[in-house]
Chains A and B, each alone.
Chain A
Amino acid sequence: MVELQELYKSFGEHEVLRGVNLRIPRGKLTFIMGQSGTGKSVLLKHIIGLLKPDRGKVIIDGQDVTRFSEKEWQRLRRRFGYLFQEGALFDSMTVAENVAFPLWEHTRLSFSEIEKRVQEKLAVVGLLEARDKYPSELSGGMKKRAALARALALEPEIILFDEPTTGLDPLLQVSIMKLIRDTQRQYGLTGVVVSHDVPIAMRAADYIAILHQGKVVAQGTPEEIRKSEHPFVQEFLRSAFEGCHPEEVQNVQEKHGN
């Protein structure tokens, strides 16, 4: 349902995407992986039109969305949820108001129906007790959970997750990932997760794409990725499982010019 064809994007002199080709299967959880700064988030932002490619196509349901007008985007985006890296909760609203906000904007639900939906989504992420707190009073993990509840509020078909586990402690990482996995299964969503956490991806993903130097160098099920013979993929996986010896990290960086 979402397909990227020969996507190119530069920021000034810095070429971030150099011909990305990727198919994201419907109803599955797809991980886009790679080192920090390889343009994973940039890729994600192209899917929802926050960034426009220099060249190439983003095809959603058979339509090239790169030429969409603002109106067409508005209609399309209602089917999307997006979990920002830092949550991007609105500071001026409480958690419950944040979750209710897209409902007020885009549905004709009554006050009590919205209230019910908010309770339901907050219960899913386990944040009922924090419903009247402001984002500044929340911890990092709570912010991510509140943001997830907001992304789920409109019951989207596709959710994009930008580094959902980065910056959390290991226990929280697992619980957030489980939450994403469970909600994705429960609602049959198409999920796209940007992450550099190999162990979590290997456990949670249906499908993995590895981004390196602006291109997708390997894609497939976790099992296929594990068997990939691409030297960067092997090293990327190995470094995650073997822990970090400083020399090894340096070797990887020297080999791959980063």
Chain B
Amino acid sequence: MLSFIQYLGRLGVNFVAEAGGMALLFLTSLAYTFRPPYRVRLFFKQMEFVGVNSLLVVILTALFSGMVIAFQSYRALSKFGGESLLGGLVALSMVRELGPVLTSLMVTARAGSAMAAELGTMRVTEQIDALEVMAINPVHYLVVPRLWAAVLMVPLLTVIADVVGIGGGYLVGVLLLKVDAGIFIKKMQDMVEWIDISSGLYKALVFGALLSIIGCYKGYNATGGAEGVGRATTEAVVIASVSILVGDYIMTSLLF
């Protein structure tokens, strides 16, 4: 019994310490953002890695999600003869929820994990120490470009996911399930407001910051050789994914 309480206590302490460490890393990175020299080349390299290279997987995910949503919603809507609402429903689901959340989860799996693995390897092979002894601030050099690349690219990818997802819904709804094309588009225009789209993009921005800071934090603090890097990578993906889903709920219920 006592050991169970100890275990709970340790869990709590660890949680607070980790969350605090991540918050500190985030704040430090913000503070370093406007400190020269500006790492423009690294920033573009990270944008390419986080953004451009995630394009295919984001498009595939969004396409099939949009198509599935159309199928499922059609079944539900047809029970009370509301098939005409299909366009609006698919579009709302995509821009408010699935676009930002699925995009962030895919970027976490691709880029967040890579950040943890790369920084973790640099940590255990003393490359981060090497930066430090060369009088180069490792947070400034490694974390700041990754943070801003993710903050910028995840919303942009979300826009693409929204469009592709709605396109997938259109394909299934109009071509397969024979909903009238004009009604599909009209209902979409009627039901989706600017706030729906922008709320999704704000979420994407926050998720981008979350997944990059968690990935960097886990890698930056990795210990214990190859095994430690593996552990850091797994934890980064798990923690970032859960944070995205929890954060999504909190933001949806409080703000939008």
Seen from chain A, the residues whose Cβ lies within 8 Å of a Cβ on chain B are 45, 48, 50, 70, 73-75, 77-78, 80, 82, 84-86, 88-91, 101-102, 105-106
- In the assembled complex, the CB of A239 is this many whole angstroms from the nearest CB of chain B, namely 29
Q: A85-B126, A88-B125, A91-B121 are in contact. Are A105 and B133 (CB under 8 A)?
A: no
- Cβ–Cβ contact A90 & B121, under 8 A: no
Q: Which residues of B contact A70 (CB under 8 A)?
A: 137
Cross-chain contact of B127 among A85, A90, A105, A106 (Cβ < 8 A): A90
- In the assembled complex, the CB of B157 is this many whole angstroms from the nearest CB of chain A, namely 24
Cross-chain contact of A84 among B121, B130, B135, B137 (Cβ < 8 A): B130
The yes or no answer to B18 lying at the interface (CB within 8 A) is no
The yes or no answer to B136 lying at the interface (CB within 8 A) is yes
Q: Which residues of A contact B132 (CB under 8 A)?
A: 50, 77
- In the assembled complex, the CB of B185 is this many whole angstroms from the nearest CB of chain A, namely 47
| A90 CA / B125 CA spacing, docked (Å) | 9
Which B152-209 residues have C-beta < 8 A from chain A?
none
Residues of B within 8 A of A (CB-CB), count: 14
| A89 CA / B137 CA spacing, docked (Å) | 16
- In the assembled complex, the CB of B15 is this many whole angstroms from the nearest CB of chain A, namely 21
- Cβ–Cβ contact A88 & B129, under 8 A: yes
- Cβ–Cβ contact A105 & B134, under 8 A: yes
Instruction: Name, among B37, B122, B127, B135, the residue most crowded by chain A CB atoms within 10 Å (CB to CB).
Output: B135
Which B99-144 residues have C-beta < 8 A from chain A?
121-122, 125-127, 129-130, 132-137
| A105 CA / B134 CA spacing, docked (Å) | 9
Q: Which residues of A contact B130 (CB under 8 A)?
A: 82, 84, 88-90
Cross-chain contact of A80 among B37, B125, B133 (Cβ < 8 A): B133
- Cβ–Cβ contact A86 & B126, under 8 A: yes
- Cβ–Cβ contact B134 & A102, under 8 A: yes
- In the assembled complex, the CB of B96 is this many whole angstroms from the nearest CB of chain A, namely 39
Residue of A at shortest CB range from B130? A88
